[in-house]
Each structure stands twice: as structure tokens, then as C-alpha cells.
Structure 1
Amino acid sequence: MTTNTGALAGKSSTPMTSQWLSWLMVVTLIYLLLAAVGAIGDGFKAATGDNAKELFAFATNPFVGLMIGLAATALIQSSSTVTSIIVGMVAGGLPIPIAIPLIMGANIGTSLTSTIVSLGHIRSGEEFHRAFAAATVHDAFNITAVTILLPLELLFHPLQRLSEAFAGLLVHDSVDVDMKSMNFMSTLLSPATDLLEASVAWLPNKVWAGIALIIIGVGLILFVVQAIGKVLRKVMVGRAKDIMHASVGRGPVSGIASGAIITVLVQSSSTTTALIVPLAGTGVFTLKQVYPFTLGTNIGTCVTALLAATAISGPTAELAMQIALVHLLFNLFGITIIYVLPFLRGIPPTIANFLADMAQRSKLYVGAYIGGVFFGLPLLLIGGSQL
């Protein structure tokens, strides 16, 4: 009997040890993410000096900036990665007005994943219609939000002004106290920062060292966001599914909240939408239930950029926090304007149903839609701006 009890205790402790190791890995990866964002900011400053604005002159056209954000996110398949990189670039001198359309484009680009997941149902007509509509309602909402909010931002700058005010409240600089010496995050990250800077110190000048730091930072962010997603999916996806099943069908507020919570848990809006699209395809959830859930994923995915902004210290800390808040405010404004107002609420589902009808008629429409919206149109506009 003693041996059996010992064996049972050993079995129960193994999953517990595995969970602790998984969470330790998450903490380590978050540390690397923060170090990577700081590296991009430092590298950008070193490489551009005071010429960051001139370097991104081609993106001063907001529509080109929007397309760059869209195409980059569609290619990388992670808005968390792209927004973290943008936070680092803003810390390094990228102007906020140029960064805002990039952030909006990232919001559209991330919705490609769910559209690709829906293709798993392509052999079953009605099932595919439901899955494709559930996937493209996310695309349609994000495109509608940009259509409304980008012109408003260009005319009146509500996102820039509000984010600046909130960032000022969150990031304090005192003239009487050397904040850098008291900055806990800066002290915590200094070993990693010093190591990264030392790794490029052998390069001939500051410009090359800066470019190398940017490349290392981007590579680290790509690795970390993917790795965090894998670890958290392993630990949290079972719980995420429980939350989804318990709350998605209870109404729009519950749906939005569950979408946000699950996305924070698994650190990937792509994963969250990929979980619900097959359930919509098989008829477990309706388009009406999926719609608010996808809006919640837009809120949940903002956490990574906000976390990344905490890695920045010194005079650009407020700017880094500001662009992270722009991402959050953009999604909150989009939900408030589009979902709360009855005459706008029905637009994304109507577009999604229309796209699903077209996709069900011919699979060529699916290829044209994915290729055109996420790659063809962005690359055409970016290329045309250079002529």
C-alpha cells in the first residue's frame, strides 16, 4: 500500500512541477520581451540619431502607414509582435502621428488567422459558410473601425490627445528626483540590456551597432511572442475553453469580457479567434454570439504592447506608453462607436455574411479576398507611394 501511495504522490506532483516550470518560463520570456523592446528603442536611437522622422518620411502618408502595419502583421501573424516593435520604435524616435496608422493596420492584419482557420471547413458547404462568416466578422469590424476612426484621427487627433493625457498620468517625471536611478524596471533589465549592447560593441560604428540591436530585438520579440503563446496554450487553453463555453452565449457584455480574458490568458488574439471559429462552423455558436467575442480579443491583445511600454525608461517612456494606449483606446472607441450604436452594429455581420455567400459560391473568391485585402492591396499602395 505504501508503494502505491508513493507512486500516486509522484504522479500528482509531476503535473504540478510541470506547471511551475511553465510559469517560470513565461516569466523568463516576458523578461526577454521587455529587454527586446528596450533593445529596439536603443538601436533605433543609435542608428538614426535625430533623423528618425526623415527616415520614415515615406510613411507620413497615413494610408501607407496603415498598409505597412497591415502587411507586416499579416506576414508575421501576430499583432502583439508588431505593436511591441512599434512601441520600441516610438521610444527610438518614430513620431506618434506616423505610428498611429501602423497600429491601426496591425489591428486589421491580425484577423487573417481566423480567416485561414475557417478554410478547414471548406469541404462542407453550410459549415464553411458559418465558419467563414464567423472569421470575417473580425476582419469586417476592424476595417469598419479604421474607416471611421482614421479620418477622425487625422482631423481632430482624439487618440493622440487622450493617450498623451493618460500617459502623462501613468508615467511621472520629477524635476527634483532622478527617476532613472529609481526606475525599478530599468534596474531589472540592465543585465540583459548591457549584454545585448556588448554583443554589438565590436561593430565599427554606432549606426551599424544600432541596426544590429534592432535586428536582434525584432528577432527576440518574434521568438518570445511565439514561445509565450505555446507555453500559455499548453497551460491555459483548457481553462480558456471552459470560460468560452460558460460565457459566450450569455450576451454581448459577457462575450466581450470572455474574449478579452481568454486573449490575455493565452497572449494571442489569433489563438483565441482560432478556438471559436471551428465551434461556429459546427453550429455550437452563432454569428451573433461570436461577434462580441471577437471584439473582446481586440482588447485583450493590447496587453502585450502595454507590457512592452514598461520596458522603456527615460525621456521617451511617456511616448512608449502613449502609443501602447493608442492601441487600447482605438479598440475601445471602435467597440463603443460601432457595437453600441444600433445603426452601425449590423455592418460587420452583414459584410461577413456577404463574404461567406461569395466564398460558398466559388472558392476563387476566398483566394481573391485573402490575397487582395491582406497582401495585394497593401503592397500596391506601398509600392505606388514610392513612384
Structure 2
Amino acid sequence: MVDTDPMRADTEMLETSHRGSWMEWVAVAALVYLLISAVSVIGTGFKTATGGHAEELFAFATNPFAGLVVGTVATALIQSSSTVTSIIVGLVAGGLPVEVAVPMVMGANIGTSITNTIVSLGHVREKKEFARAFSAATVHDFFNLFSVVIFLPLEIMFGLLEGLGKAMASVFAVEDASMGGLNFVKAATAPVVDLIKGIAHTMGDTMGGIFMIVLGVALIFLSIHFIGKLLKQLMVGKAREIMHTAIGKGPVSGIASGTLVTVLVQSSSTTTSLMVPLAGSGAFGLKQIYPFTLGANIGTCITALLAATAVDGNTVAALQIAFIHLTYNVLGVLVIFGLPFLRYLPVRAAEWLGLTAAENKFIALAYILGVFFVIPGLCLGVTALI
């Protein structure tokens, strides 16, 4: 006899849904554990491969523009600043000098904005719609470019971000102590790191170190990819609700909600890409969406901070570069959005570009290729010759 009780069927569906959600959250936790372990593996591998002489290996990288370009191109190709900054944290823990890593982090901010710019091309058939969508996408680009123009010279001249990052890291870690026995996260990931280290040891220092770096990078790719995929299933609906509720209720609300949504979905690219269709349809204006993108920049820093908690190597330096990433993005919002004469420069630049690209679609393509690939490539070539 077939059970046709609709109430029982609804209850069974609800139980299945809850069981599925519970299992997905367990999977997210396991992937976060894998991510932290992978960053630690990279740090250990880099330290092993360089024999503790990483600073000598990177002595050639005296030009900060080279680091900026590397960060930009790497993130544009991978389309994930979280992945790139997590790799940078691992490398710094293994000996990559912090001063070399700072411009790379800045470049990662620029490179991550390619995703929503590409998403805006989906509106290319409708002229007015495309102008709005392309402007909403590129306002993120212009904000990040202005941040680099302001803070890179300050970093070169005064080491501003490096000093602030070091001060913040010193609160959470003691030099050469790595928070002593209080670092439970590091203790929890030690079995995985030690297992991989044991396998790599049989290959010799250099090859074993390279093996650990490659494996660590691959694990970061996989973990962040699947964390993003799972969190999109679990949280994107909630993220949309937060976004719709907060946008248009003032800049502070927009920045806070952009930060929260990015933390929930672990991807600033996803956060900013959610806004492009809303802008294209005319549901929200560029000035309403703009603060939300600023929050996305801040929210994406959580991944690097998480990754820095359990590195096997220089914990202080790893925390320092993670805090530099956070400080850079927070200061960018405070300075550019806080100062009235700078506040809407990214908006005006994005509006002009959106209208220009709507008139000539090839300009949009030239902009994407030029900003994210051609100009960085030329700069890298020039710096190599200097």
C-alpha cells in the first residue's frame, strides 16, 4: 500500500534536507582543516627547499612593482585572491621576506576584480544595461587601483603596512615561540604536516621541499574551490537576503554587509559578482552598490588570517602578512571613502568607462586584457631588464 500522507512526506523531506546541510557543514569544517594544513605544508616545503636561505633566493626582488604584477597576474589567472594570499602566507612562513610579499598582496586585490568584470559581459547585448553593469563591475577595479597608488609609495618610503602588520602580529604571537603550547590549531594540523614531511624527506631536501610546495598549492586550490562551492549552496540565498536588506541603507550598512557576505561565502569575487546583475537591471544605483564592494575587500581577508594561525615555520611573519592584508584593505576604505574629495573618484571613473564601453564593446575587451594581463606583463618585462 502506497503512503500518500503529505505531512509525512514533508517531514521526511525536511529531515533529509537537515541531514544534507549538517553533512555539508562537516565537509566545510574538514576543508578548512585541509586549507590550514596545506598552508603549513607550503611553509615547511619552502623552508626545506631553500635550506633556510629564502632571503638570498629573493634578493633580486628589490623592485616592488614586480611583486605587484606577480600578485595581479596570478590572481587574475586563478580568479581567487583567497588562494593567492593563502599561498603567500605559506611562503612567508617558509622564509619569503615580508617586504617582498606586501606588493604581491596588493596585486591580489587588483587581480580578484577580473571575475565580476567578466560577469558584466553577460549584459553586453543591451546598451544601457551593459553600461550600468560594467560600471558596477569596474568600480571595484578603480578602488583597488587608487589604493595601490596611495599606499604602495607609502610602503616603499616608510614601510607603513609592514610596521602596522608587525605590531598587530606581535599581539598574537611571540617571536620564536609561536604562541607556545597555546596554538591548538597548529597542534591539530601537525599529524597531516608531519605525515607529508615524512614522505617528502625520502626525496631529499630540495626535491622534497618542492614536492611539499606543489602539493600544498594543489591542496589550497582544491580546498578553497570546494569550500566556495559548498558555502554557495549553503549561504548564497542568505547572502542575497543580507545584500538586498542592507544596500541603499547608507554606506556603513553597505560596507558591513559586504564584509559579512564575503565572510559567509569565502569569496569576494562571488560577493561582487552578485551585485552586477542588480546594477544592470537598474535595481540599485552605482553609489548604493559601491560601499558593498568595499566591504567585500575587507571580508576576503579572513582566509589568510585563518591560514596564518597554524603555519609550520615563522608564525609571526605569517600573521604579519595576513594582518597587512587586512590593514591595507581597512585603511583603503578609511582613506578613499573617508575623504570627501577621494570618495567618489572610483565611481566617476567607473561611470565614464561603463558609458564608453557601451558605445564600443571592443573597449571593454581591451580594458580587461590590458589592465589584468598586457600592462602587468609589460611592467614585469621592464622590471626584469632594470
TM over 0.5: yes
State the percentage of identical aligned residues: 54
Asked if 1:159 corresponds to 2:174, the answer is no
Within 1, Cα distance between the matches of 2:86 and 2:191?
Answer: 21
Q: State the partner residue of 1:379.
A: 377
Q: State the partner residue of 1:273.
A: 272
Deviation at 1:198, TM superposition (A): 3.1
Q: State the partner residue of 2:362.
A: 364
Q: State the partner residue of 2:196.
A: 196
- Given that 1:302 and 1:327 are in contact with CA atoms closer than 8 Å, whether structure 2 keeps it comes out as yes
- Given that 2:73 and 2:376 are in contact with CA atoms closer than 8 Å, whether structure 1 keeps it comes out as yes
- Given that 2:173 and 2:179 are in contact with CA atoms closer than 8 Å, whether structure 1 keeps it comes out as no
Asked if 1:325 corresponds to 2:323, the answer is yes
- Given that 1:58 and 1:386 are in contact with CA atoms closer than 8 Å, whether structure 2 keeps it comes out as no
Q: How does 1:1-387 map to 2 (within 5 A)?
A: 4-172=6-174, 180-203=180-203, 205-313=204-312, 316-387=314-385
Within 2, Cα distance between the matches of 1:300 and 1:10?
Answer: 37
Cα separation, partners in 2 of 1:317 and 1:167, compared to 1, 3 Å: same
- Given that 1:252 and 1:292 are in contact with CA atoms closer than 8 Å, whether structure 2 keeps it comes out as yes
Within 2, Cα distance between the matches of 1:85 and 1:25?
Answer: 22
Deviation at 1:9, TM superposition (A): 2.3
- SS of the equivalent of 1:310 reads helix
- SS of the equivalent of 1:59 reads coil
Residue by residue over 1:157-204, the C-alpha shift from the partner in whole angstroms, topping out at 9 and shown as x without a partner, is 1211111111001113697xx95555312220112112222332332x
- SS of the equivalent of 1:386 reads helix
Give the TM-score taking structure 2 as reference length: 0.96
298-307 or 4-13, larger mean C-alpha shift? 4-13
- Given that 2:131 and 2:355 are in contact with CA atoms closer than 8 Å, whether structure 1 keeps it comes out as yes
- SS of the equivalent of 2:310 reads coil
Deviation at 1:360, TM superposition (A): 1.1
Report how many residues are paired.
383
Matched letter for residue 69 of structure 2? M
- Given that 1:180 and 1:186 are in contact with CA atoms closer than 8 Å, whether structure 2 keeps it comes out as no
Give the TM-score taking structure 1 as reference length: 0.96
Deviation at 1:311, TM superposition (A): 1.6
Deviation at 1:56, TM superposition (A): 2.1
Deviation at 1:5, TM superposition (A): 4.5
Residue by residue over 1:3-62, the C-alpha shift from the partner in whole angstroms, topping out at 9 and shown as x without a partner, is 654433211101100110110000000000001000000000001123212322343200
359-368 or 32-41, larger mean C-alpha shift? 359-368
78-87 or 48-57, larger mean C-alpha shift? 48-57
183-192 or 150-159, larger mean C-alpha shift? 183-192
Within 2, Cα distance between the matches of 1:46 and 1:173?
Answer: 20
Within 1, Cα distance between the matches of 2:9 and 2:138?
Answer: 50
CA RMSD of aligned residues (A): 1.6
Within 2, Cα distance between the matches of 1:179 and 1:356?
Answer: 49
Matched letter for residue 276 of structure 2? V
Within 2, Cα distance between the matches of 1:356 and 1:282?
Answer: 14
Deviation at 1:377, TM superposition (A): 1.1
Matched letter for residue 343 of structure 1? F
Deviation at 1:71, TM superposition (A): 0.3
- SS of the equivalent of 2:247 reads helix
Residue by residue over 1:291-328, the C-alpha shift from the partner in whole angstroms, topping out at 9 and shown as x without a partner, is 100000000000000000002255x1111000000000
- SS of the equivalent of 1:93 reads coil
Deviation at 1:353, TM superposition (A): 1.2
Within 2, Cα distance between the matches of 1:71 and 1:308?
Answer: 22
Cα separation, partners in 2 of 1:373 and 1:96, compared to 1, 3 Å: same
Matched letter for residue 28 of structure 1? A
Within 2, Cα distance between the matches of 1:101 and 1:179?
Answer: 27
Matched letter for residue 67 of structure 1? V
Within 2, Cα distance between the matches of 1:174 and 1:51?
Answer: 17
Unaligned stretches of 5+ residues in structure 2: none
Within 1, Cα distance between the matches of 2:208 and 2:82?
Answer: 26
Within 1, Cα distance between the matches of 2:60 and 2:280?
Answer: 42
Within 2, Cα distance between the matches of 1:113 and 1:179?
Answer: 38
- SS of the equivalent of 2:155 reads helix
- SS of the equivalent of 2:248 reads helix
Within 2, Cα distance between the matches of 1:181 and 1:328?
Answer: 26
